[in-house]
Amino acid sequence: MSCPRLIAPALAIFLVSRFAAPAAETESPDVRFFRDLAETRSYSLGLPVSPQLTPDGKHVIFLRSGPRNPVLRLYEINVESGAERELLTPEQILKSGGEKLSVEEKARRERQRQSLRGFTTFQLTRDGTRVLVVLGGKLYVVTRADGTFTEMPGAGWIAPQLSPDGKFIGVVRANELFVIDIGSRQERQLTTGANEFIEHATAEFVAQEELDRFDGFWWSPDSKSIVYQETDNTGVEVRYISDPLHPEAPPAKNFYPRPGTPNAKVRLGIVSRDGGDTRWIAWDNAKFPYLARVEWKEAKAPLTLYVLDRVQQTGLMLTVDAATGATREILREADRAWLNVERRMRPRWLTDGSGFLWPSERSGRWQLELRRADGTFKVNVTNEGDGFAELVGPANISPTDMVQFAGGADSRELQIYSCSIDGKGERKALTSGRGMHDAVMSDSANVWLHQFDLVGGRAGWEVCDPDGKSVRVLPSVAEKPPVAPKNELARVKGEREYDASIVRPSNFKPGQSYPVILDVYAGPQAKQVTATFRRFFVPQWYADHGYIVVSFDGRGTPRRGRDWERAIRGNFIDVALNDQVDALRALAKQVPEMDLSRVGVAGWSFGGYFSAMAVLRRPDVFKCGVAGAPVVTWENYDTTYTERYLGLPQENPEAYRISSVLTYAADLKRPLLIVHGATDDNVYFQHSVQLADALYRAGKPFEFLPLLGTHMISDPMTRLRREVRVAEFFDRNLTPNKPAATP
């Protein structure tokens, strides 16, 4: 399930808008605002992307686009002098031609929510002398010293990975694994037998979409072997997606497992870099079908797997004898509700192989544990009060190292801390400033990379010394927003305490009554209330047009402990809806200017599901709603996400009935706008069609905005048109006497 998104492509078929498509020079300030926001990607284009320090810590390699051009180019900056140079541009390679993406690469980017173009990723050799990039399915190795590049043989490549020694590239084409010798420019195919159902060396759909695992093969530390995934989709249900704008084109075929139906069968094999027979790894993949993590980085540590059972209540950590393929269980985790698999959650082996670091919720709060090589517990590196979110470094961890993690006591923000690996001593804060902080640690003990997105409006990357002092800010060419959103973070106390955000009009007048928009997600894995500014451009626009815009994180959302998060087990809507209404009413006691007789709700994905349910279930609270890409029937979403929270439909049919929008469709009493992309391969267009059909048959009026696009929408024009349609909908239903906006 995607995180909340307020962007979407728009091609209205049934809804007539009063916002026409004016020429740029005659656009109203409102339309210009949304156009600028769309074309700059919320003023993020031009910021550095995916920076990496060279091993000596003297240079940073990074990607960057123009302020209104989503094509990423490759740059280098000298940390000491600040001198910047452009290493390579897509134009140097493509000349006058355009980049063409394969179907497989488009699907990978959709799963990664990657909408930029050009060099979307790069890899740096361990010695820092060369950089690997991929463009249009072709591979290029860039020599940093002189900026020259060499094209590798072949085309149609996806998912390239440099070997640890920097001499080879593992890469996938036509669902088979290949190795390219960089020196000789010779390619070798390592796997065979791929067909309509069998794929090699790529992660299956649910691993990418729901387990945050995008790799399908992994190099051994000595660069001599590769462990790869074989996926057997035999038995997995197939869905076809047609592009309604091009009925002459054949539909795209997707393997998409629904709850209660067969998943893809996954197994792992080890093959020599030089080719030969595959040695298959043995574990009970019928009982533990989900391959969540694979780790094979340290020479003195074993190949390690983390696998989950179907309902994700039991997880096993297994070490592998690479010579035989035999596995040994070293850690078993269990949770009567579900086990989370978080971003960057993987076993981090110490360089001497004596143990590993592992994030766990077994205490009821996330903590970082140090475990011995046999899996037995040694010590908690962090404690419950640290608010541990994820381990960020260092790149290679020895038993005597300090480790760095993101976390903090305030669930609305993230700070970076350093502590000793034995858990003793005080934690040292490396960052400050209210906001969301992240870090990329390197092998260099002298510097590290710090990413910041602060409530005051500053965002970007910088190089810091070990104490967190800024050494060099990475250059940005992003446009400065004309107005900084004024997001107020709060905690409101109703039946329980909730994280809350409030965006008021810039000319807010105490005592005046304002209609309210609930900007909502309310589902697992994502927080709406965060100490950032970039997410709040649109809420500020609505606020400046006469609304108070609010968001809340109720039960089911992360960073408030196990019990808080797992309160939604078996029921997606009742707890979430109760908490949002409770928080809304509690906040109105603190902000009496909120007119609770005029409340609208809007969200995307799970937020779209919640919006539809809110209007259906609580018309006494919500006067209208916008349901963007809503999951309507959970039987038609994917296995991994849905079964984690609702269980198997064969065992818990009532959970699916209670959580279905269709159960309540005949009760619609308030205006509802449904928005959905016709070629969405995450939440299929089927969901909104099911809801529209149910409402139509029940004789209920509604508005339907079908779109051309997928779940992730980034096209500037389509985003622009979607935003003004939603604005018109809220104005019409919450402020009917308000003068219409003019283009």
| Per-residue model confidence as pLDDT tens digits over 223-262 | 999 999 999 999 999 999 998 889 999 999 999 999 999 9
CB environment 429-461: b (16+ within 10 A), e (fewer): ebbeeebbbbbbbbebeebbbbbbbbbebebbb
pLDDT band at 94 (very low <50, low <70, confident <90, very high): confident
Q: Could you give the percent of the chain with pLDDT greater than 70? A: 93
Pick left, alpha or beta for residue 605 (phi over 0 → left; psi -120 to 50 → alpha; otherwise beta).
left
CB 399 within 8 A of CB 350: yes
Per-residue pLDDT tens for 445-456? 789 999 999 998
d(CA 47, CA 32): 22
Question: How far apart are the C-alpha atoms of 500 and 553, rounded to whole Å?
Answer: 7
| Three-state secondary structure readout of 282-294 | CCCCCCCCEEEEE
pLDDT category of residue 219 using cuts at 50, 70 and 90: very high
Task: Decide: 567 and 483 in contact? Cβ < 8 Å.
Answer: no
Segment 380-408 mean pLDDT:
93
Q: Which domains does the chain show, CATH number per domain? A: 24-41+480-734 (3.40.50.1820), 47-151 (2.120.10.30), 156-315 (2.140.10.30)
Residue 479 has pLDDT above 90, yes or no: yes
Q: What is the pLDDT of residues 136-178, one digit of tens each?
A: 999 999 999 998 999 999 999 999 999 999 999 999 999 999 9
With 0-12 / 13-18 / 19 or more C-beta atoms within 10 angstroms meaning exposed / middle / buried, residue 639 is: buried
Residue found under tokens 């000491």: 80
Q: Say whether 420 sits in a helix, a strand or coil.
A: strand
Instruction: Name residue 172's beta-bridge partners.
Output: 158, 177
* In contact, 681 and 254? CB cutoff 8 Å: yes
Query: E strands along 259-401, which residues?
Result: 265-272, 279-280, 290-295, 303-308, 314-320, 327-334, 348-349, 355-360, 367-372, 377-380, 390-393
d(CA 632, CA 612): 9
Measure the CA–CA gap between 61 and 86, rounded to whole angstroms: 10
SS3 (DSSP) at 319: strand
Residue 343 has a CB neighbour count (10 Å cut-off) of 9
With CA atoms as reference, report the closest residue to 627 among 582, 688, 580, 577: 688
- Give the bridge partners for 252, in sequence order: 241
Residue 428: what pLDDT? 95
Indicate if the pLDDT at residue 41 is higher than 70: yes
246, amino acid identity: H
Q: CB–CB of 432/407 below 8 Å?
A: no
Instruction: Taking the CA atoms of 729, 667, 557 and 584 in sequence, report the sign of the dihedral they define.
Output: positive
Cα radius of gyration rounded to whole Å, the chain: 26
pLDDT tens-digit map of 714-743: 666 777 788 889 999 999 999 987 765 443
Residue 3 — pLDDT band, cuts 50, 70, 90?
A: very low
CA 423, CA 112: separation in Å to the nearest integer? 34
Mean pLDDT, range 330-345, rounded to an integer: 93
pTM: 0.92
CA-to-CA separations, 663 to 554, 600, 633, 666, in angstroms, rounded: 23, 22, 9, 8
Q: Which of 662, 688, 664 lies closest to 675 in space, CA to CA?
A: 688
pLDDT for 117: 83
Three-class SS of residue 26? helix
* Strand intervals (E) in 112-220: 117-118, 122-124, 130-135, 138-143, 149-151, 158-162, 168-173, 176-181, 186-189, 198-200, 217-219
Sheet harboring 402-407: ordered strands across? 390-393, 402-407, 415-420, 428-429
* The dihedral formed by the CA atoms of 541, 558, 622 and 682, expressed in degrees to the nearest 10: 80
Tell whether the model's pLDDT for residue 89 goes beyond 80. yes
